[in-house]
Amino acid sequence: MSNPLIILQTFDRHLDHPVELTLYGRAALALGFSPHLPQHDTTKDVDAIIPLCQLEALQGDEQFWNARDAANAELAGRGLYLTHLFTEADVFLSPDWLGRRVLLSTRFVHLKLLRPATIDFVLTKMMRGADPEDRTDIEFLLKQEPLTEADLQAAFGRARLPEIPELHDAFRAAQPRVLEIARSIGPKT
């Protein structure tokens, strides 16, 4: 069984009410695409994006945080955890990302899981600049849904970035690499 599935099943078991999570990172690749790469199943964590419109409710949801802590404590011996819960303002995304999310087919008792649309997923993978794992993941994404250079350039121009200079530098450094991957894979228009 995949690590992301183990993590989320454990978290779901500790929840007592419905929760919507937008996954990104390798857990979202493992659960959001079939087939996917074997390394997507071996990720040790699950990352999620919290939409700003849900932030206040989630911050006040004590049972959510208790369930997260209980799941992490239960999984600590295996080195697995639900970890990075970023707001949408902390992640590279397009302004209309929320309305384009993709529902994941994995079923849980309490969790409703989504992932970003492919173009937004690519943007999230650009946060570490030239990271080789992210480059592999971007190539995987663009093989699943080839995007044109024009689509990517438009997304780059519209992307909302956190106000951290190092992240802006990483974004600029990643752009030519993403375009190179797109040229090698997909449509030329």
Residue 36 has pLDDT above 70, yes or no: yes
- Would you say residue 188 has pLDDT above 90? no
76-91 pLDDT per residue, tens: 999 999 988 999 999 9
Average pLDDT, the chain: 94
| Residue keyed to tokens 């992210």 | 134
- In sign, the C-alpha dihedral spanning 91, 97, 99, 100 is negative
pLDDT reported for residue 189:
47
**Whether this model's pTM surpasses 0.85:** yes
Q: Which residues contact 128 (CB under 8 A, 6 or more apart)?
A: 134, 170, 174
* pLDDT tens digits along 71-129: 999 999 999 999 889 999 999 999 999 999 999 987 899 999 999 999 999 999 999 98
Q: Identity (one letter) of the amino acid at 133?
A: E
What is the number of other CB atoms lying within 10 angstroms of the CB of residue 151?
18
Angle at 49 between CA 3 and CA 174, to 5 degrees: 90
DSSP state of 146: -
Residue 186 has a pLDDT of: 66
